[in-house]
Structure 1
Amino acid sequence: MENKLIEIQVYGAERICTSCVNLPSSKDTYEWLEAALSRKFPGQPFSITYIDIYQQQENPKRQEMTERIIEEDLFYPLVLIGDEIVGEGNPRLKAIVKEMERYGYQALEA
């Protein structure tokens, strides 16, 4: 099955989410996810983007999501694949991998 190139979006902020005090920062989570997914899906291209929720976004969908995170007090970092939220606050690698497999990616078994 040919996989579709997906974009993983990690929404976050410099300051740590109030409910996520003892967790890694959004930027740290983004970097960890990028490394972990590259190891899990070697040779299978995907893009991963970090989006600061307090910065104005040129892309209307991204701007809408940043406003939603702030207005609805969603936990961040928030991980989005397509239009699906696959992680919030302390995203689980297993859930993200499962979503990527839905798009045809094949995880390397550990």
Structure 2
Amino acid sequence: MNTESVKITVYGAKQVCASCVGAPGSKDTYEWLQAAIGRKYLEDQISYEYIDIETPPDVEKHQQFVEKIIEEDLFYPIVMVNDELVAEGIPRLKTIYNALDQYNIALKSS
């Protein structure tokens, strides 16, 4: 099976998005995604990063996307799979799994 490397990036903030009251925080969502994905997929080809939108790293693509989040008033956390936005606000596992399936990430055997 041909597999590719996948980077999952979660953009979020300590404070819950105003439109997502009652939802878990961004950091909690980031940790939850790692656990959920780890139960289904072999994680050899998956890496994760969390970007705090209040203090983004000095990397141009992250700073540009954080500006977009603020300018367009996007809901966070935002989940990216290889720089493709796959979830905004409260993420759905099925949507994220579908994105990972496009990269032929190996499933764990039962």
- Normalising to structure 2: TM-score of the pair? 0.92
Q: Deviations over 1:57-109 (max 9, x none)?
A: 22111111111111110000000112311001001111111101101113448
Aligned partners of 1:53, 1:20: CA distance in 2, in Å? Answer: 16
Q: Which residue of 2 aligns with 1:79?
A: 79
Same amino acid, percent of matched pairs: 47
1:5 Cα deviation after fit? 1.1
Q: Give the secondary-structure state (helix, strand or coil) at the position aligned to 2:97.
A: helix
SS of corresponding position for 2:24:
coil
Structure 2 residue runs of 5 or longer lacking an equivalent are none
1:27-59 C-alpha deviation (Å, 9 max, x unpaired) = 000000001101110354301111000114221
Structure 1: where are the runs of 5+ without partners? Answer: none
Q: What is the DSSP-based 3-state SS (H/G/I as helix, E as strand, rest coil) of the residue aligned with 2:31?
A: helix
What value does the CA root-mean-square deviation take over the aligned residues? 1.6
Matches within 5 A, 1:1-110: 1-108=1-108
TM-score for the superposition, normalised by structure 1: 0.92
The size of the alignment, in residue pairs, is 110
CA contact (8 A) 2:45 2:105 kept: no
- What amino acid sits opposite 2:16 in the alignment? I
Query: Quick one: structure 1 residues 68 and 109, their matched pair in 2 at CA, closer, same or farther if it must change by over 3 Å?
Result: farther
Runs of 4+ off more than 3 Å: 106-110
